[in-house]
Amino acid sequence: MNKISFTVTVDDEELSIEMASGAKMKLINCNNNRFELSENEFFFLLKKNQIKMISANKPSIPKIEFDRLVIIDPRVYDIDLGQFVQYFVQTAEETGIKLVGQPEKIKLPKNIYNASAKAADELLTALSAFSIKLEKKKYVSPKAQHRWKKTISTIEFHIKHEGATGTVVWQKSNEMRLFAGAKMLTEEAAPRRKDGTLGLPAKFTANLRDENAAKWNHETYVTIEDIILRSVNEVGHFLYFAGTNSWLEMIDDQGRTIHELTVVQ
């Protein structure tokens, strides 16, 4: 991708980008379809910065989880909106991304394809600065090695997983600070064996919560004090009974996972 320039305006939950060409984009924290879209715009739906849907048709949005939205106004490029959307959909499929709610496929003439590629390069270069890329999320082995470093000790990482939320900092090699106000999954959400009894992950979670019983509200399941846990794994257990790679669930304000910033290459 080429070097480009753009201006950014931040307003509450919305970030507006204006390209040197005059094209415009908006990045919005959003998890529902109650957003405004003009007839000249199209959108990306994202979950943890991974693109899930590309479309210009808001009514076509299926029941899908997403937490961020990119709205693009490409009128300056003078490319048919449907064809431009098709270019992005086609490019996403070629990189292995599985999209939902895909528009009907159309074949792009060579001149339209080339014009779209040039325009998309400008837009995607800007979006990459916010960790939004048209590429498939890489598989990360749970056995990957991570190393704490002082430069990461003040970075806040945010967690949103199946209703559990929280913010943490990895302040020391063996200390993860979970800030007050974190939302835990209730005991009803605990994974169970076929016979209905609690499995090992749920029992481990129960022990962690018992150790910190005075620091969370047992009716709302919201933490009322900062809690020090020993690892990313413990944070995942404490909040949502683990069950996923928690290194990918902790994301900073720039969209980077704690895995990206600490993995040993």
Q: Tell me: the pLDDT tens digits for 222-236?
A: 999 999 999 999 999
Quickly state the pLDDT bin for 1 (edges 50, 70, 90).
very low
Same domain, 107 and 162: no
In a domain, 100, yes or no: yes
In a domain, 139, yes or no: no
Rg (CA), the chain: 21
Same domain, 38 and 122: yes
In a domain, 230, yes or no: yes
Q: Tell me: the pLDDT tens digits for 54-91?
A: 999 998 898 888 999 999 999 999 999 999 999 999 88
* Residue 53: pLDDT over 80: yes
Same domain, 10 and 123: yes
Same domain, 167 and 123: no
* Residue 9: pLDDT over 50: yes
Q: 244 vs 156, 201, 233, 247, 250, CA distance in Å?
A: 20, 11, 10, 9, 12
Same domain, 14 and 56: yes
- pTM for this entry: 0.54
Helix or strand run (H / E) with residue 200: helix 200-211
In a domain, 143, yes or no: no
Same domain, 24 and 124: yes
* Residue 2: pLDDT over 80: no
In a domain, 82, yes or no: yes
- Print the domain residue range for 49: 6-128
Same domain, 14 and 122: yes
CB-based contact 101:53 (threshold 8 Å): yes
Q: Give SS3 for 238.
A: helix
- Cα–Cα distance between 170 and 258 in angstroms, integer? 9
Same domain, 88 and 166: no
Percentage of residues in the chain with pLDDT exceeding 70? 96
- Cα–Cα distance between 242 and 129 in angstroms, integer? 30
Residue 142 has what pLDDT?
Answer: 57
Residue 198 has what pLDDT?
Answer: 80
Q: Tell me: the pLDDT tens digits for 161-207?
A: 888 999 999 999 999 999 999 999 998 888 888 787 887 888 899 99
Domain count of the fold of the chain = 2
Same domain, 158 and 118: no
Same domain, 43 and 100: yes
